[in-house]
Structure 1
Amino acid sequence: MSSAIANSTFFATPDLPPTALHFIDTAIASFHKLPGSAIALRYIRSSYQDDPVRSLVELFLFIFAVRYLLAPAYSTKRSKNVPLTEDEIDELVDDWTPEPLTSEESAFEKLENEKRPVMTGPAGPKVKLAGSGRTVVNLGNYNHYNFAANAELIGKGIGTVRTYGVGPCSPPGFYGTQDVHMKSEADIAAHIGMPACIIYAQSFSTISSMLPAFSKRGDIIVADKASNFPIRKGLQISRSQVRWYEHNDMADLERVLQRVVKEGQGKPLTRRFIVTEGLFECVGDMVDLPKVVELKLKYKFRLILDETWSYGILGRTGRGATEQQNVDPMQVDMIVGGLAGALASGGGFCASTNEVVEHQRLSAAAYTYSAALPALLATTASETVALLQEQPQLIQTLRDNTKAIRAQLDPRSEWVRCTSAPENPVLILVLKDQHVEDRKLSIADQEALLQDAVEEALANGVLVTRLKSPPMAVGASAKEAQKEWRPRPGIKVCVTTGLSRKETEAAGKVVRHAITSVMKSRKWQKGTLFAATPSAAPAA
């Protein structure tokens, strides 16, 4: 009883009536009869004296647990969707129009596809056409060093297939990485002068996957208006803020960078990138890399350089724009390149620091979710990189042939001019402005005219291609489409070392005469617009 009185004294206050005190004493006496009650009571007393806040928290959790256990059950399958009648569903279905997976083929494209020439046998410097059986000079692919006919490369390729099979059939992060992949990464990194390198299985997906791995929503990317289609897809996927500057205009680039820096003052820091190409795919000219690096350092941006068309081409040993323009590769944050062009392999790469490379192995979709590059192509990439370093005369021969054919086309042709850099073996020929203005040629007119020129060249034994514009951005409105930068219609002439200098010059003359013949034809005389049905020919 004394214990009960002590307990009631502990809990009670002088204002409580006797009945309340009796109730408390009875409750405490009943509590003491429970097993372990003394331990619980000592815990409550010590807890309240040492840490009263803790007691309140525990009391709240106890009440919450009791309430949760006693709460009525509810269904998690209840739907908030408004039920529709059959008539309403039919009406919605009738109103819905799915977007086509591809744009409808135009009459021009239909004719082009129907008359596209088909080659039989290897795609070397000279190819045989199916049907007619004629052999023509091939200036329509990127076999610049004629590696496709290199017996040593072919032998090593066959040996690689016999050892490793045709493909790993697994992403690199699982069991797709083989020793030849690691060797190729090390060879390319050492060639460029970067600490590390990562290889992708598709050239197109390299930069379009690498960009979203680093730039996210809210980040800012400043890009050249003439950027190629893979870059544009990467920008779209990243959902970053994109600011464009005029093609290869360093003054406009600095203006855009200044504006971005000014707008970002007082706001949370974001990642900021400059994206450009070494040799521009759609124009052919070369970036002013030293100036871009200077602006990048001045305004504290990261620089991503796409060397898909310049790696293996520019520089004494084919290291790209950095070697050509004496720029330290480490001043470029990320160098992206393709292996499917001059190196006669497949896939692409990104060379940078170890941290940047390792981040892509987990964050780049094309690397994480795609099967690894076939061992055959990885071996070919290593071998061709070694050949360029061991035989720099290959690059010099290519430049000599490029110079020879260019002399036959620009400035000798009175109708077209070449927009490519002198070192670029891909010559892009566009109609001179005065002829476009005098004849009032629209974009469609120019494309049809150049198609006729390509077909005329093919009829005279030289296969060249037409430069095709990249597709419009997905979901772009008509107003946005008008503002979007589009390359001028042109002809692409791809130079190769598989032809002698004399053969190269002769092919250049054929192309020049074909353009002259079409320009002087009755169909394309002054005042003739795109009314006649255009002939079709191969397009790039």
Structure 2
Amino acid sequence: MEQETKVFPSSSGHMFQNYFTPGRSWSFKKNGLLDARARRIFETTALGCAADAYPFHMPLEAKAGPCVQADGHQMLMMSSYDYLGLIGHPRIDKAAQEAIHRYGTSTSGARLLTGTLDIHNEVERDLAAYKGTEAALTFSSGYMANLGLITGLFGPSDRIIIDALCHRSLLDACKMAGVQVQRFRHNDPESLREEIKKGPPANRTVIISDGVFSMDGDICCLPDLIAIKKEFGCFLFIDEAHASGVLGLTGRGTDEHFGIDTSEVDLWSGSLAKSIPSVGGFVACSQEVAIFLQHASSPYIFSAAMAASAVAAISEGLAILKEEPQRVARLKDNGDYLRTGLQSLGYNTGLSDTAIIPVVLHDEIQTAVFARKLRNHGIIAAPVMFPAVAQGVARLRLCVTAAHTREQLDFVLDVFRQLAN
């Protein structure tokens, strides 16, 4: 990697074309198109640009493995979701290219009407086999998969009891569905029991948790959730976005990690843009639930079907995962190595036990400046702030992949060692 220099790229000039000039102010009125809530966003963005430390929206010019190119510089990516290191895999690229040649660049239709291709059905069978369920459905994103599942199945007569640190897509889906929502303390089975007991009457009660939590990198207490589900007669839904391809000997996810049969969980969702290097999301469930969602889930019915190139990439990615489970083991080894190294340097890595490794710095300005210092050393590390996390716990979210070399991880640790002094 290149050594520290002031010419390393910043997002500040790229994104806003010098909109945030020094001394500029804004007057957002209560009844304006942008109301008073916009003030915090504009003022903090202006501060970041003024300090050449605005940390978001950096445009990448090329990407292959752990290294990316930004503004003509090769940089080490330490915040990618490419957990298995499959981006740029020649088999996946070839499959996507051949699909474009056969089907074109768009389906030009929704799944319910004219957008379903034969490979949509094939990949959904592959996903069901991968997850060990009767059926699976694909959606345009992981966010839409959660939205489509919750709004399609549940409504105001139901209640959802959700882990306090679950992904925003799940909370947005609950709001849109109009369900009664209760939140239990993060990964706390006793708090979950308390919420179930004290909640209002409901037609159905559903427990929801992430498999791996996206901001902290810890794993849900799945055995406890299953026991409580059975104790109180609830349903259980697990979002595997950051667990698929990450947990278990073959990367099947949280159930394989704990040695639990997939059928113990009623509903699964996951991402097809992380360990599997494509776009989209999926729901894995019973055949009856899948048929119902195909006729009742708005994001499935009213969105254009996923492009054939993306579907082909998913199919080939699943095939490689099945053939090369050693990628999952290498990912775990890399995560353990970097996490242990950061802890030995005195950094707070929170609850992490997976490839997601937060470096909790607490202060938002300090976190943005630290991210800029890392970029000066040729390292991209995403800062995460409120509202993605609670105020006062801002952090850098590092993500290792199976493709990171030990030399690259040692370089990262050496830079963190320098910045700790």
TM-score after normalising by structure 1: 0.68
Matched, 1:110 2:15: no
Matched, 1:159 2:98: yes
Q: Which residue is 1:465 aligned to?
A: 382
- Is the 1:428–1:467 contact (alpha carbons within 8 Å) kept by the matching residues of 2? no
After superposition, the C-alpha distances for 1:248-287 in whole angstroms (9 at most, x for unaligned) are 1111111111223xx53xxxx6111111110011222110
After superposition, the C-alpha distances for 1:167-210 in whole angstroms (9 at most, x for unaligned) are 20211001111111111110110111100011111221110221
The structure with more radius of gyration: 1
Matched, 1:249 2:188: yes
Mark the CA change 1:351 to 1:275 in structure 2 (over 3 Å): closer, same or farther: same
Q: Which residue is 1:496 aligned to?
A: 401
1:111, CA displacement in angstroms? 4.6
Question: What CA RMSD, in Å, does the superposition of the two structures yield over aligned residues?
Answer: 2.1
1:147 and 1:451 mapped to 2: Cα distance? Answer: 29
1:175 and 1:136 mapped to 2: Cα distance? Answer: 43
Q: Which residue is 2:334 aligned to?
A: 401
- Give the share of equivalent positions with the same residue, in percent: 23
In structure 2, what residue type is equivalent to 1:427? Answer: I
SS of 1:198's partner is strand
2:182 and 2:322 mapped to 1: Cα distance? Answer: 38
Where does 1:174-213 land on structure 2 (aligned, <5 Å)?
174-213=113-152
Matched, 1:454 2:359: no
Q: Which residue is 2:358 aligned to?
A: 428
Where does 1:312-351 land on structure 2 (aligned, <5 Å)?
312-351=245-284
Mark the CA change 1:512 to 1:353 in structure 2 (over 3 Å): closer, same or farther: farther
In structure 1, what residue type is equivalent to 2:111? Answer: P
Which structure is higher in helix share?
1
Q: Which residue is 1:52 aligned to?
A: none
1:340 and 1:251 mapped to 2: Cα distance? Answer: 34
- Is the 1:273–1:302 contact (alpha carbons within 8 Å) kept by the matching residues of 2? yes
1:240, CA displacement in angstroms? 0.9
In structure 2, what residue type is equivalent to 1:363? Answer: A
2:152 and 2:125 mapped to 1: Cα distance? Answer: 22
Matched, 1:279 2:212: yes
Mark the CA change 1:507 to 1:348 in structure 2 (over 3 Å): closer, same or farther: same
1:96 and 1:107 mapped to 2: Cα distance? Answer: 17
- Is the 2:193–2:228 contact (alpha carbons within 8 Å) kept by the matching residues of 1? yes
Count of residue correspondences: 386
After superposition, the C-alpha distances for 1:124-164 in whole angstroms (9 at most, x for unaligned) are 4112221xx33221112212222112111111111111111
Gaps in structure 1 of 5+ consecutive residues:
1-94, 432-442, 473-484, 518-540
Gaps in structure 2 of 5+ consecutive residues:
1-28
1:99, CA displacement in angstroms? 4.9
- Is the 1:334–1:350 contact (alpha carbons within 8 Å) kept by the matching residues of 2? yes
Where does 1:520-535 land on structure 2 (aligned, <5 Å)?
none
- Is the 2:216–2:352 contact (alpha carbons within 8 Å) kept by the matching residues of 1? no
After superposition, the C-alpha distances for 1:415-439 in whole angstroms (9 at most, x for unaligned) are x3112432x21211113xxxxxxxx
2:102 and 2:143 mapped to 1: Cα distance? Answer: 28
1:327, CA displacement in angstroms? 1.4
Mark the CA change 1:362 to 1:122 in structure 2 (over 3 Å): closer, same or farther: same
2:388 and 2:212 mapped to 1: Cα distance? Answer: 20
Where does 1:74-153 land on structure 2 (aligned, <5 Å)?
97-100=31-34, 103-104=38-39, 105-112=41-48, 115-116=54-55, 117-122=58-63, 124-130=65-71, 133-153=72-92
Q: Which residue is 2:349 aligned to?
A: 418
In structure 1, what residue type is equivalent to 2:262? Answer: P
1:349 and 1:110 mapped to 2: Cα distance? Answer: 38
1:511, CA displacement in angstroms? 3.0
Query: Relative contact order: is structure 1 or structure 2 higher (C-alpha 8 Å, sep ≥ 6)?
Result: 2
SS of 2:63's partner is coil
SS of 1:497's partner is coil
Q: Which residue is 1:292 aligned to?
A: 225
2:416 and 2:102 mapped to 1: Cα distance? Answer: 45
1:181 and 1:363 mapped to 2: Cα distance? Answer: 18
Q: Which residue is 1:509 aligned to?
A: 414
1:245 and 1:455 mapped to 2: Cα distance? Answer: 36
1:487, CA displacement in angstroms? 8.0
In structure 2, what residue type is equivalent to 1:232? Answer: L
In structure 2, what residue type is equivalent to 1:224? Answer: D
SS of 2:279's partner is coil
